[in-house]
Amino acid sequence: MTAEAGADRVFITGASSGIGAALAREYAARGAILGLVARRGEVLGALSASLPHPERHRSYAVDVLDHAALAAAAQDFMAAAGGADIVIACAGISHGTLTERPEDLAVFEAVFATNVNATVATFAPFVAPMKAQSGMRRLVAIGSVAGVRGMRGAGAYCASKAAVHAYCESLRLELKSSGIRVVTIAPGYIDTPMTRNNRFPMPFLMPAGRFAAAAVRAIARGDSYRVLPWQMGFVAKLLRALPNSVFDFLFARAPTKPRKEAA
């Protein structure tokens, strides 16, 4: 596992598809050393093999809900790469939920376990080693514009992403004096397998590759919070500013996300 001097060492969860895979391709094209984490080992291996200089990268077939295995992958990557410069918690799931349906409580728990708890578990093994390093150091969480306001039928997903945003604000303050930058990237609608399940219009839909290029630039700058595409940043500010009465009137009949089918 070797790379040119000065190459970024980047650890990405949820790397087998969607935004995670797009970020892996973008960083690999820039000469980075990658540690790629996802449950689907075969898909992850195929992605790694397709990247430039596959010998630089390490793949870990790990479920982010297995925090011990995730920490072991983090330690292995840092040992092999000599540290980590950028850690991206990208693993996430989305399902429509209804509080009145008892079976959806388990879905709420699964969404929070993957989107929130696994973000904390992803960052935890890297904080102390990063404090001992110099140079660029980034902890990056993939939030969502959905975390700005709660949407009908999407309580679990919206609440989980709002929690990610708030958690990153807290972590940013905790690490302010360490030189580690905490970056929250809040995607709008990005063309991925997750959004293709949506049954409603998706304004400003952004190709995953273009999103990844813009995200990498924001991460390099150390932006504390960045909405992509930029148009959705304007929409997010407008939604946040709406009085509750106006927001409720506009969105009370909005289409809902598909619920997870019972097994």
Structure token digits, residue 200: 């409603």
CA angle 24, 26, 29 (to 5 degrees): 105
Across 148-168, average pLDDT: 94
Distant-in-sequence, close-in-space partners of 92: CB < 8 Å, separation ≥ 6: 14, 114, 115, 142, 194
pLDDT score, position 252 = 86
pLDDT digit string, tens, across residues 215-242? 999 999 999 999 999 998 888 889 889 9
- Mean pLDDT over each residue of the chain, to the nearest integer: 91
Report whether 191 contacts 146 (CB < 8 A).
no
Matching residue, tokens 């995953």: 208
pLDDT score, position 4 = 55
Residue 200 has pLDDT above 80, yes or no: no
Matching residue, tokens 């500013």: 241
The CA distance from 136 to 87, in Å, is 11
pLDDT score, position 44 = 94
Residue 206 one-letter amino acid: M
The CA distance from 194 to 142, in Å, is 14
Across 177-192, average pLDDT: 93
**Cα→Cα distances 60→41, 74, 110, Å:** 7, 9, 21
pTM over 0.85: yes
- Catalytic residue of the set 157, 167, 189, 225: 157
Residue 136 has pLDDT above 90, yes or no: yes
Task: State the pLDDT confidence band at 5, using cuts at 50, 70 and 90.
Answer: low
Taking the CA of residue 210 as centre, how many other CA atoms within 13 Å lie in the half-sphere pointing to its CB?
A: 11
Across 189-217, average pLDDT: 83
Parallel, antiparallel or unpaired: strands 190-191 and 206-207: parallel
**Does residue 189 have an active-site annotation?**
no
Task: State the pLDDT confidence band at 34, using cuts at 50, 70 and 90.
Answer: very high
Report whether 223 contacts 180 (CB < 8 A).
no
pLDDT score, position 263 = 46
